[in-house]
Structures are given as structure tokens and as C-alpha cells.
Amino acid sequence: MVRVGICGVTGYAGYEALKWLRRHRGVEVVFATSESQAGKSLAAVYPGPLDAPLVAVDDAPFADVDVVLLALPHGAAAQVATKALQAGCKVVDFSADFRLDTPETYARWYGHAHPFPDMLPVPYGLPEINRAAIHGARLVAAPGCYPTSVILGAMPLLRSGLVTDRTIIVDAKSGISGAGRAPKLNTLFAETHDTVTPYNIGHVHRHVGEIEQELAKLSSGAAPTVLFNPHLVPVVRGMLSALYVRIDEQVDAPTLQALYEQAYATEPFVRVLPAGQLAAMAHTTNTNMCAVSVTLAQPGLAIVMSSVDNLAKGAATQAIQCMNIICDMAETEGLL
Amino acid sequence: MVRVGICGVTGYAGYEALKWLRRHRGVEVVFATSESQAGKSLAAVYPGPLDAPLVAVDDAPFADVDVVLLALPHGAAAQVATKALQAGCKVVDFSADFRLDTPETYARWYGHAHPFPDMLPVPYGLPEINRAAIHGARLVAAPGCYPTSVILGAMPLLRSGLVTDRTIIVDAKSGISGAGRAPKLNTLFAETHDTVTPYNIGHVHRHVGEIEQELAKLSSGAAPTVLFNPHLVPVVRGMLSALYVRIDEQVDAPTLQALYEQAYATEPFVRVLPAGQLAAMAHTTNTNMCAVSVTLAQPGLAIVMSSVDNLAKGAATQAIQCMNIICDMAETEGLL
Amino acid sequence: MVRVGICGVTGYAGYEALKWLRRHRGVEVVFATSESQAGKSLAAVYPGPLDAPLVAVDDAPFADVDVVLLALPHGAAAQVATKALQAGCKVVDFSADFRLDTPETYARWYGHAHPFPDMLPVPYGLPEINRAAIHGARLVAAPGCYPTSVILGAMPLLRSGLVTDRTIIVDAKSGISGAGRAPKLNTLFAETHDTVTPYNIGHVHRHVGEIEQELAKLSSGAAPTVLFNPHLVPVVRGMLSALYVRIDEQVDAPTLQALYEQAYATEPFVRVLPAGQLAAMAHTTNTNMCAVSVTLAQPGLAIVMSSVDNLAKGAATQAIQCMNIICDMAETEGLL
Amino acid sequence: MVRVGICGVTGYAGYEALKWLRRHRGVEVVFATSESQAGKSLAAVYPGPLDAPLVAVDDAPFADVDVVLLALPHGAAAQVATKALQAGCKVVDFSADFRLDTPETYARWYGHAHPFPDMLPVPYGLPEINRAAIHGARLVAAPGCYPTSVILGAMPLLRSGLVTDRTIIVDAKSGISGAGRAPKLNTLFAETHDTVTPYNIGHVHRHVGEIEQELAKLSSGAAPTVLFNPHLVPVVRGMLSALYVRIDEQVDAPTLQALYEQAYATEPFVRVLPAGQLAAMAHTTNTNMCAVSVTLAQPGLAIVMSSVDNLAKGAATQAIQCMNIICDMAETEGLL
């Protein structure tokens, strides 16, 4: 049994992780932390089937666990990660603290110096592009939800060398749980239920940093620029990214389809839909799957639809997938 | 033209009032206040078609208006009401500050002494039961949303003398806008969207005070006790109360139906549904209507369904209806 | 490995059953039927992670399975059940075809003669009240969703002898998946999303028959009459029933609480909430749990809130729980 | 008083038209038709505040009205339009039957010959681009919902001559009422509530025909190709189109903003948001407004967000706007 600690279990992603770990046959959850609710039990502060005593991070017995899932806010995660590593734990971090490879890139996107620049770079925890590096790591930076959908959607095209314009337009739709559980005006029910709201469009959303960093590594040609246009839509969980990519005008639809099917033929958690079907949020809700469809809209323009559950493959279950890899368990354990 | 000021226009009920007043042919809106957003324009802080410069209450020109709609939080309204009255305005207050007739009842339900006990009692602003008193008033206390649906649903039965058990059970369902626009965990989208949540059931919700006060006045027999059981349901606006009332076992369904139809035959804003139809939220959304159905479930037990829009007939448009009455305008003006 | 066939996998409850069986370690799904989609694959007609070849019931290899989960519409199930039983299978039927003990009761609630009157009675598949009878059965009638929530909510009180009025009022709220997947006006998104709609209130909903039948068996006193008042609420899945029960006026709140805690102390799938918490839909969504709270609203009146997921404990997972029992597997296998 | 008849009042757009006409001071509604519900009253088949006797189209007294609003399905409208015109009525048609200028274009997008080719072309009823032609017409083809949002969003850029790439990518999100009130699997609540679903992406949605037709007329350069990618999102009403347009790299953000503000400076129903704000559905729900924002994402790429209510400015209220114009009433009457 791998002994696991979860930090930040009262956030949506941390709670989701605990929910999935109930069904995992290779782990035992030893502790669960919450700063705001320490001393209470999880069932007292969260309706739902789960329960666990909540301890403060400072009281968490890191020495008693093999691996820590770190579902803390950006900025708060890095310090706890160092503490867990010093206690001998392996760590999968859900936050953005270790996703960018250099202190310079981090400062560019997060507006301040990285607190532990010597720890960078850390393996980017997207197994489908980085499985080997994850396997040997003691610290893994699980990707953001938007980056997961965009990178998996773009990867086959970028590797193929068929992309002809380095500007990729992404129109993304996210469920509202992605904004977290802290009360804010713009995530109130009455503000969000009957509307779709774009925000941070263009080249400003922080996830652009990690998307462009990883796409550059995958590209056979020039590093892509991603114009990333996210929208809040009134679902609790789910994410759908539409990628508009200019490609070689000679490529036909069957070639595109084959490119995607081959790229993911052996991946257990990426499903390429048959030609003619379009990926929707419903394909992946409550799963660790990414569903991808590719459509030739006209000669020279491909539309990729990429769907993940922002709390699952976009956060908690992807972290568990990484945990399975770094702990030498079957990669799919607990994730079906 | 009646000159109107709105205090608290950035709350849901205040915003709703301004929305309806655009179509009112007898009024001119002179000012709109917001404590948190004073100095900005309404369109800058609220998506939607409305705009107005926002001033602080302390800077509002009460002397320039004939009537003030007071859409402030409970507790904050009373003092502003006194100020507006001293400036010569008539006032329709949306809050609970003046709904209870005595300082003692107020203290019983709100847990502290009334700040202006000498101002009580104030006419209760439910025109269908209190039109004459409203007409001559300078200050009116517009009812709460739950009380509007419950009192209008119960009134014909209580007046009839057919009620045989003084305990009335009410199972009520409310849209989430009723909880206000201040960010709170329990009104976040992700906490409310996929669930129905009961709260404050039994005899503890503060609206029970005004419901029982008004039902006592309407009853031909003993004052009723209301067991009031509210639930949050995932709609933005709307309210549906189910009233379970024990009545004389001799009463048949056509008699019940006739009782309701006669009670509201001349009321422009109460619609008694034909026998066999049940009132749903959809009957009244975005209207100043109350839709009522009455069903004889078995001999001796009537089920009344009473639907209002919590932001309209349950708040803003009911206040406008009161304003029309106290300002000698047609009662239905601006409300169709 | 227990070999399982699912009939009606393209309905919501059948699909849900297949979803849960993926995680069940004791079964192998051998076939899945769909009348409307036979010849296709499940993934082609249903977005989501599941897939299976779809066969017509007439082509299903009943002889190759040990147990059949029958998720067919009322009326269609009985005949298939007889066929499966003749092939030597055990059967858990999701429909209402075998829930009523006598042909007379069936005719009373369903309006026509039972097609196989000699097969009645069949064990009612609610393990918490009927575990022993289920264990030895070859055919089990899984309860309806509303009955599951009402019976589990009422059982401790009825057995206690404390109920003083045989009329029990139930105000129930159901997710819209309960109305099935056949296109109908009243389950369209635009008809249901912004409203709460009562229907079939009083003593007419067909589930009243099985509720009263089972409550009569549990009651220490006179058989209860249930006034059952269902509402459609805009959630996909979930169910919350509020039970208003008159009880002995001497009973205090701690006694009530203890009564419920003791009644379900050893049940893995019923959770009695601590005093002061109220059961909401969120307590049970996507689980096989029933969450129950009991509140003393005033001396002599108890309010029970009972929450189940209508597709899980109200249908598919309850059927799997029955399957586990009749196949001698651990009752909780695959259900956590 | 202008006398009005509405054909197809039990569809969503027809019902919406009747709702708005209640507040219109220049019209009297003389009849309302419904094929499926003729003989009933509207209130009996539709929850809500409206009522009207429903007659079959064949029994409608066209001779008694001045103008007919035709909210019939595509294909059914053309014949009724001819009948109404022959009776001397003016006609505003909500359907696609007369939107395309030539029989050839119609056949290209609708797959069959136009039934009345001699009637084409008909003025396209988008007042902001075609007010003069509408004014003198007896038959007007009100635009589709998607085309309204796309054409109004694109117009200032196309007229400016700044567009450098004739391919315009549109990623559009629509409320589900746009799919109509006929029961279909893909508009059921349980199929749509928790997901976002793309459909008909690329160059195949029928609205592409009218979009490209009208954009060609507005363009100073080559006729644009529109890659149009619609999604169903779980709101009842609302529409948000994101337009990705390549423009001259020299254009800066203030120039773009000024271009849009000037283009719509005198339009009562188009609101250009201030720089830095993004149009969301909430800006236009339940209004006849189009809200537009323009953002320079990077040099050479503009992102236009264009929001309309698909049932209002996208259908019913736009038709009323056209009716006001052809009947010489104030264009804004009844639409605030």
C-alpha cells in the first residue's frame, strides 16, 4: 500500500482527489489537510459521501506518507512542497508553482519572482507527452486544466510539421468550478447561471505561459503563439477547447483523422472520436479521459475539439495518474 | 411625472426595480445609490442594459424626489427611511425593518431591539390584503418574497373559516437570487447548481414572523402556526410554495376552486389557475403575478401551490405596485 | 466472475448500471441490449466513456449469463423477465412490473391487468427492509426512486409506534432524468431549466402504490396514507423527499435522532446526518447512499429529509446491490 | 392602432413576440395561430402570463389585420406569407424562407428548390444595415439569430477595409431555445444541462448562407468566407459569437475601438462596450440589444464578441423593430 497525504482537501480539486482515491486499490489515505477547517471533519463542512479528519498543514505527518498530493492555491504550494520533499515524500503538485521551466518565465506570467528558483525545472506532469520524465521524478507539476485540453488537442498536428501558421487560436469553455471555492462575485450562481462570459482573452491568461512552453517543445517548426480565449459557461465541471489551426492545404480529412488516431493509439486516457463525431464536454465528465475530434473545415484549416473534465483529467485524476507513474503502480489504477 | 430615487440599486432587487421603471410611463428616476460602487456608473459594474450614475446614500438628493424605493439590506434601511421621510419623500421599503407591527415581535425574530420603535406599526405592503392602508401611507413595508407567496396562497382559506387545524405546513422552493449578491460559499454556482438544499426548516426562518402576523389578521379562527420549510433550488429567480392545509372534510373540490376564484376575481396580479392545473414557477417568472392553484388531495386536506417571482412580485414590482398606490397612479402602470 | 447481461442500456438507468459495473471486481458484462439502437455501438449513440455492442433483446444470449439487469420501460420488462428466468438467469428488474404484491393492487395503480399474475408477489428489492427475502430470490423487483427515498426516510418512525396520524405528507423534488430519455415536451431543456413544476400531486402518482404497500408492512399501527407531491426541479439527477409526520408530542429531539441512528447503525448505504444538519441532494449525488436527517419542528411534528440519487440508489446501484446479494457477493462490491 | 396577427404563437419566438407586444403602445393583437393547439387557449398550453385564443392558420382573419408576424417553421412560412400578402397585410417573416436573395443560393443551403422563386429577393430585415429597404417593404425577412450577432459584430471591420484575410472564424454559443420547441433527444434537459456541444462546424450550418451573403454586401474588399462553429450551451436564451478577424497590422486598439463606436453611435439597439469590457450573454438577455466588444489580441488580429438574445434581437424583437419601421411607428416603440 502506498501511503498518501492530501493537502488542501476542501478545495474542489483536493476533494475530487479524495473521491477517486476511495476506489484506488493501491493506496491508503493517511491524512488530509485544510487550513480554514482544521479540527473539523470533512463531512461536517462538505455535503457528500466523503469524510476525513482535517488537520492543518503544519500538523500533517509528512513522515508517515510516501506521496503527497498538493492541492493548494498557487503561491501556497511551493513551500509545502519543499517541506514534503524534505520529509522524504514524493510530491504531485496541482498548482502552477512549478509548471514553468525557468524563473524568468515564471516572473513573466505570475508577476513576481519565483520563491524557489533553484528547484526549477520540474517535470511537467502530462503523461501523454512526458511519461519518462515523470517516472523518475520526486516532484511533478501537474498541468493546468486549460493546458491539458489544448496541448493534447494540438500535439499530433504540431509534431506532424503540417502547421503553416504559428498563431493558433483557441476558444475555450470552462465549468465554473475551475474558479475555485473561495466566494467571489463572479462565481455566484445568479451571476453565472444564465450567461456565457469571456474573460482574459488574447494573450494574457496565465495558462498561456505553460501552453506555449510545452507546445514549443512539441513543434517541429517555429514555436507557436497561442491566442487563448476562455469563457465561463454554466456547468459545474467540464472543459471544451476549440483549436483553429492553419495547416498545409494539401492535407485531406482522412490523413488528419489517421494522424490523430495513430498519435493516441496506445494512450489509455485519450480517445480520438471517429470521423464525423465532435468532442463535447459530455464525453469526458467525471472521467480521466481527454476526448479529441479533428475536422477539416476547409482546405488548410483544421478544427480540433478537445474535451476534459477540468476537475479530473484537468486536475485531480491527472495528478493521480502521475502518482501512479512515480510510485510504480499501474498507470490506470483507480482511474476507470 | 413622479420623481423617484432608488437606494441600493446594485443589489438584485434594486436593479430589478430600475429595470421595470424604464417602462413606467409616470415616473422619472432621479438618482440611484450604491454604497460599494458610488462614483461609478451602473453599466460598469453590472452587465446588462441599464445604466445610471451611482451616488452614495449620503450624497443622494432626497429633496429632489417624491418617492424613494429603499432596496437596502435589513438593518441598513430604517435609518435611511427616516432621512427620506424627513426630506418629505414617501418611502417604500423592501427590507424587513418595518414589516413587524411591534418592537417586541421584531426583537423576537431579529434578535435585537428595533432602532426606531416609535415608527411601528407601518402598513404592510401587500395590496391584495391591505390596499386601503397602503393608499394613505407615507411609509410602506413591502413584504418578503416567501410571505407574499404564502399569504396570497392561504388567504382565501383562512378567511373562509374552513381551516380545521391551526398548523399549516409550507414547503417552499426559492431561486438563489433571494440570498442576495454578497459573495457567500452557499450561493456559489458550484455549490448550488446540482442540488436542492433545505435550510432553516421548522419555525425559525425570519419570514415566519411576518407570515404569522398577517395570517392571524386574516383568520376567522385561531391564529395559525406556520411550519415553514424553505429550500434553495438551482434557478436564479422564482419561488413556489406548497401549502398543506387541513380543512373541513365536507368541502368538495369545486367549492374550493370557487372560493379561490372569487377571492381574487378582481385582482389584476393574482391568477387562480383553472381546476386541474398546478401553479409552477414558470407561470410567474419575470412578472408581477402570483399564480395560485388549489387541489383537494383527499377529503379534509387542501394543497395550495403559490408561485411568485421572488425578485418581482416578491420584491421590486410589488414595491412599484405600492408606489403606484401611494402616488395615486394606476396600480398596474409599468407592471405588465 | 458473475456474468451479467443488461437489457435497456441506452436508457438512463441502464447506462448508469453499465457505468458502475466497470468498477465492480466480481462481474463481467456479457451483453447489452437496446431495441432502438440494436446493431450500433453504445459509444456511437451516447457521448461518454462507455462502449458496448448493442443487440436486440431477441438476440441476447441469456443462456450465457448468470444474472440479468432489466432496465426496460414499465410494461416491457415482465415478458423479458420470464424469458431470462426460463434461460436460467437470475433477474433484477428496474421496472414497476413486479413491485406490487397482488394483481389487484397492480390493476388499481397501473390501470390494466397484470400480464403474469401468477408470478406475484416478488421480493421488493430494498435491502434495508428486505435483505433476507432478496437473498434467496431469483427475481427481485428493484424499488422506484421516490419509494426508496420515502420508505427509508419513514421506516424508523413507523416501526417505533410513535406516529399518531396515519396521513403522511411527502413533498418530493426529483431530477429530470427520472422522466426518461424519450423526447417529450415537458422534459425539454427550455421547458424545465428555469422552473420548478409540481405534477401528479395528492394520491395519484403510481409510486404511491408501492410506498403504501411497503409502509403498511413496516407500521406497528394503522397502515399509512401517503399524500405524495412530486416536483420536477432543474437538476439532471438527484432526489430529495421531505416527510411531514405527526408523532407523539412527548418525543424530544434527541430521542428522534437516536431512533434514526440506531435504525441504520449497521447499514452501509444509509447515512443519518448529525443533529442540526439537513439532508440535501448533494449528500448523495453519484453514490449508492441514502442520506437522512430528522428534525423536530415542533412538539408532535417531525420533518424527515431523505436524499438519494434517483439514477443510483433510486435505480441502477440499488439493483446492483440486489444483484450482489442474490449472487452471494459482498453487498458493497462496486458501490463505493 | 396597428392591428397585428401572429402566426405560430406556441413556438418560442412567436410566444416571445406576443410577450413584447403587450407593452407596445401602437398595436392591437387581433389573432394568434397554432396548428397543433388550435381551439385551445394559449394559457392552457403554456405556463406563463400570456393568454389568447388559438386559431388554425386557415381560420385566421388576415383581412382584419394590418401586419402579420410569421413565426412558423422554415418551409411552412412561405405559403402563409403569400396568403397574408394577398389579403393586403404587410408581413415580417421570422423564418429562413425569404432570407436568401436568389433561388440558387436557397437551393444551395436548403437542399431543394425555393417554392416561390419569383418573390425573391426580399429585404433582409436587419435595420442596422438595411433600414431604408425595410421601410418601403411589404414583406421583410427577419434575420436568423446567429447571423444577427455575426453581421453586427463584423460590419464595422468589413466596411473599414482593414480586413486582410477573407476567412473569418466564428466560434458561437447559443442557448437551447434556438433549437425550437419540438421534442428532440438532443434538446432534452438531461442531454444538455451539464455539457457544451459543438455541432455543424466548418462551412455547413445553414446560417452561413445568409451571413456570407450579407457580409459580401458590406465588404469593401473580397467577399468573406465564414467558418462558423456553433455550440449548444446550457442556457435557455442567449447567444455569444466570438469573431476572429485578421486585420492590418498597423491598426492599434484605440483605432479599433473608435471604429466600432462611430459605426454604432446613432443605433438605439447596438451597444459598443467601453475598451476593456467584453460582451457577455448577460449584457443582452431579455432585450432587443446587441452588445459588441472589440479587442486587439495581437497586432493584426481582432477579436469581436457579439451578444444578442436569440429569442429577442435574434428573432421576435428584431421582427417587431422591422414592424415598427414598415408601419411608420417609432422604431424603438415597445422595445425598451
List own/partner pairs for D48-53 with CB under 8 A and 24 or more apart: D48/B282, D48/B283, D48/B285, D48/D15, D48/D19, D49/B271, D49/B283, D49/B284, D49/B287, D49/B289, D49/D19, D50/D15, D50/D18, D50/D19, D50/D22, D52/D9, D52/D18
Q: Which three cell numbers stand for residue C72?
A: 426496460
Question: Phi, psi at residue D103, to the nearest 5°?
Answer: -60, -30
pLDDT at B23: 93
- Ranges of beta strands (E only) in B88-176 are 90-93, 139-141, 167-174
pLDDT at B220 over 90: no
Chain A neighbours (≥3 Cβ pairs under 8 A) are B, C, D
Give the tens place of pLDDT for each residue, A147-176: 999 999 999 999 999 999 999 999 999 999
Q: Is D171 part of the contact surface with chain A (CB cutoff 8 Å)?
A: yes
Residue C283 and residue A336: Cβ atoms within 8 Å?
no
Question: What's the whole-number mean pLDDT along residues C129-144?
Answer: 97
Task: Say whether residue C188 is in contact with chain B using an 8 A CB cutoff.
Answer: no
Per-residue confidence band for D48, with pLDDT thresholds at 50, 70 and 90: confident
Q: Is the pLDDT of residue D208 over 90?
A: yes
Task: Note the pLDDT tens digit of each residue in B142-153.
Answer: 999 999 999 999
Closest chain A CA to residue D306: A198
Low-confidence stretches of chain A (pLDDT < 70) are none
Residue D222 has pLDDT above 90, yes or no: no
- pLDDT confidence of D220, banded at 50, 70, 90? confident
Please identify which of the residues D145, D290, D322, D327 carries the catalytic annotation. D145
**What is the structure's pLDDT at D182?**
94
Q: Are strands C167-174 and C239-246 parallel, antiparallel or unpaired?
A: antiparallel
* Average pLDDT estimate for C157-185: 96
Predicted pLDDT of residue B235: 98
Examine the pLDDT at B323 and tell me if it is beyond 90.
yes
SS3 D195: coil
Overall average pLDDT of the B77-105 stretch: 97
For the segment D181-198, the average pLDDT, to the nearest whole number, is 97
User: Which residues does chain C have within 8 Å of residue D145's beta carbon, measured at their own beta carbons?
Assistant: none
CA distance A264 to chain D (A): 22
Judged by CB atoms closer than 8 Å, whether chains meet at A289 and C47 is answered as no
Q: What's the pLDDT band for B88 if we cut at 50, 70, 90?
A: very high
pLDDT of C48 > 90? The answer is no
DSSP tag of B224: P
| Residue D284 predicted with pLDDT over 90 | yes
**Residue pLDDT, tens place only, B12-60:** 999 999 999 999 999 999 999 999 999 999 999 899 889 999 999 999 9
Residues of C in contact with A22 (CB under 8 A): 336
The whole-angstrom separation of Cα C30 and Cα C35 is: 17
The percentage of chain C sitting over the pLDDT mark of 90, rounded to a whole number, equals 97
pLDDT in tens, B105-132: 999 999 999 999 999 999 999 999 999 9
Confidence tier at D49 by pLDDT (50, 70, 90): confident
Mean pLDDT of D91-114: 97
Determine, for residues C193 and D195 on separate chains, whether the beta-carbon distance falls below 8 Å.
no
pLDDT one-digit tens code per residue, C215-236 = 999 998 889 999 999 999 999 9
Query: Alpha helix locations (H) across D9-113?
Result: 12-21, 42-45, 77-86, 103-110
- Contact state of B47 with A195 under an 8 Å Cβ cutoff: yes
Closest among A296, A192, A198, A186 to A249, alpha carbons compared: A296
C-alpha cell at B168: 399549516
CA dist., res. D244 & res. C248, Å (int): 69
Q: pLDDT exceeding 70 applies to what percent of chain B?
A: 100
Mean model confidence pLDDT for chain B: 97
Residue of A nearest to D174 (CA): A196
Mean pLDDT of D244-263: 98
Question: For B256-287, how does the pLDDT look when each residue is reduced to its tens digit (9 = 90+)?
Answer: 999 999 999 999 999 999 999 999 999 999 99
Spatial distance between the Cα atoms of B74 and B95, rounded to a whole number of angstroms: 5
**What is the pLDDT, as a whole number, of residue B222?**
86
D184 touches chain C (CB under 8 A): yes
User: Catalytic site residues of A?
Assistant: 145
